[in-house]
Chains A and B, each alone.
Chain A
């Protein structure tokens, strides 16, 4: 069990910088998600923590020890690969016992540990089989077994559910989270799937182009996105952006889009020029009496809710409304936005403007 501290971590491949000066802390026992689109540097970060890549510069502290330039074998870390990476020439039992054999553990003890792990994961009946005949889920269970059998300081997981079927992924995600809750081991988990990150993570780091965009609990990241990238990347459909020209000053609680005044959380910053009014689809309500208006283009039925796409003077917008509501394409309707959930962005920098939303306990998290 260990705390992992990353300080100014940087990785260059030739002229390409994969990770630009990342810093974050994974607390002991945390289930920590590295989230981002492919090529954002999340896997490189994970591989540097594990010791499979050496950083160009920066520090990695695992359990109070600086390990940035140490080989993987000396870091006491387990790694679960997307493609499982089970040794194909060995049986399930041998695969799981491999890390113990490398430590020179006596045979009887190895057998006992392997049996215990197999019981935890429910794969006792597979122990003497070869790994090539196993299903994807069973392979990943064996890979997990190989990871947990050593009781390492921390687990690194690189999209471990990415190679599984969609329906099975859900089930495996629950299993993984339950396993983590039981073992309380520090886990760093890489994924590009925002739902997976929200569902499983205690904390999320959102990365893009080698830069950490935001770092926080899932609710914080969803409710208070720090950048337009995060606001767009998290949530399905993503946050709506209504672009407008204007100016805000500390203390303002209104912005003017065209001829309509819209309420926003009390602003703390002075900003002007191209601004963005960000609101999540579920914080948009259709109300014929509202003065901000949009024309309905399409609706998608999703069971309990439906997603309405509208055209507004400030760009397209999606609203999530109860599916019982009848909305016809072509009709114009008024739109209300839940004021305390709105985020304003400075478009030039793609950054959220500080407001009451970000006050400690200000917005309901």
Chain B
């Protein structure tokens, strides 16, 4: 029995609750299942009507995602040496030949660099700022905290045009650094506010004990405050990463050939002769993975992080 229940739930209410949870799970997971399954369909299967629930799986979508191809006639194919591997085989079955790798790998790496880079920077700056706001007598502390919060009071995209112009002027357009700075700028206010709450919860006595024990202020911060704030840092990091990873509008506006991230790239995957839905779905599936893995790894912290500070001890 759960420690929180006063009486054990009846069999019927358990059934009802179970059914509701199941229904909700189906509703939320269905689109996800659709995307993942489409990634393993062939082109014709992906646009079949009614949709095919059972189909023979194919890696066509993933192969197309990672390659550039061109059409070849039967005669041309006959003149070529036999297919070198299974990838070649899949492509040739549709009268195509591989001309080189696609740009998906690059775009995905851009997303990783920009997403994790801006998350790291937001957390690094946010933790230091939150610590200072939490522990020291900062002049105009309340006004500064409000100022930091106020940067989130309108949707960031509202300032898209000034940012576009500034980035062009500063040479930051279509650079990794520019995108990292931009996402950090958007995330930092959230990071400072969340982390300040977590650090406020850590009693000062821990640091004071460390100061007395012969550590400097910075050592006390690193060895005592940081381990205590790990939960808060982890959950803040997830929030920052999710934003930076999923951001679409600025990525479309500010990146193109060099620093383009995966979100604006995936919808532009066009196959030979029409939208290549299996490849798009394969890209979306791979794009989902990092944040999903990251969140699952840190989910214990996340749960604790959300309820942390809700109850005063």
Contact = CB atoms under 8 A, between A and B. Distances in A.
A83 B208 CA distance: 12
Interface string A138-153: 0000000010001000
B309 interface: no
Which secondary structure dominates where chain A touches chain B?
A: loop
Contact of A85 (B203, B215, B219): B203
Contacts, number: 56
A85 B206 contact: yes
Which of B203, B211, B219 has the most C-beta atoms of chain A within 10 angstroms of its own C-beta? B211
Candidate in B208, B227, B228 with the most chain A CB atoms within 10 angstroms: B208
Interface string B204-220: 01101111111111010
Determine which residue in A73, A78, A98, A146 has the highest number of CB atoms from chain B within 10 A of its CB, and name it.
A73
Given A81-B205, A83-B203, A85-B206, A72 B212 contact: yes
Contacts of B208: 52, 72, 79, 81, 85
Contact of A73 (B206, B215, B227): B215
B157 to A, nearest CB: 41
B212 A73 contact: yes
A13 to B, nearest CB: 9
Chain B contact residues: over half helix, strand or loop, or mixed?
A: helix
A191 B206 CA distance: 21
B211 A52 contact: yes
B224 interface: yes
Interface in A44-73: 50-52, 71-73
Contact of B211 (A73, A87, A146): A73
B214 A89 contact: no
Contact of A87 (B212, B214, B217, B224): B224
A99 interface: yes
A253 B213 CA distance: 56
Interface residues of B, number: 17
A85 B216 contact: no
Contacts of B205: 81, 83-85
Interface in B279-313: none
B214 A85 contact: no
A165 to B, nearest CB: 18
Contacts of B203: 83, 85
Contacts of B212: 50-52, 72-73, 77-79, 99
Nearest to B213: A99
Contacts of A89: 227-228
A76 B228 CA distance: 26
A102 B213 contact: yes
A87 B209 contact: yes
Contacts of A84: 205
Contacts of B224: 87
A103 interface: yes
A87 B207 CA distance: 9
Interface string A164-199: 000000000000000000000000000000000000
Nearest to A78: B212
A102 B209 CA distance: 12
A86 B224 CA distance: 10
A50 B224 CA distance: 19
A88 interface: yes
Contacts of B214: 73, 99, 102-103
A234 B259 CA distance: 74
Nearest to B202: A88
A52 B135 CA distance: 13
Contacts of A73: 211-216
B223 to A, nearest CB: 8
Contacts of B216: 71, 73
Contact of A98 (B210, B217, B227, B228): B210
Contacts of A81: 205, 208-209
Interface in B182-218: 203, 205-206, 208-217
Contacts of B219: 102
Nearest to A52: B208
A84 B205 CA distance: 8
Contacts of A87: 206, 209-210, 224
A204 B296 CA distance: 58
A71 B215 contact: no
Given A85-B203, A88-B228, A89-B227, A79 B215 contact: no
11 contacts: A50-B212, A52-B211, A72-B212, A78-B212, A79-B209, A81-B208, A85-B209, A86-B209, A89-B227, A102-B219, A146-B213
Q: Which 3 A-B pairs rank lowest in CB-CB distance, beginning with the nearest?
A: A85-B205, A99-B213, A102-B214
Given A102-B219, A146-B209, 6 more contacts: A79-B209, A81-B208, A85-B208, A102-B215, A103-B214, A146-B213
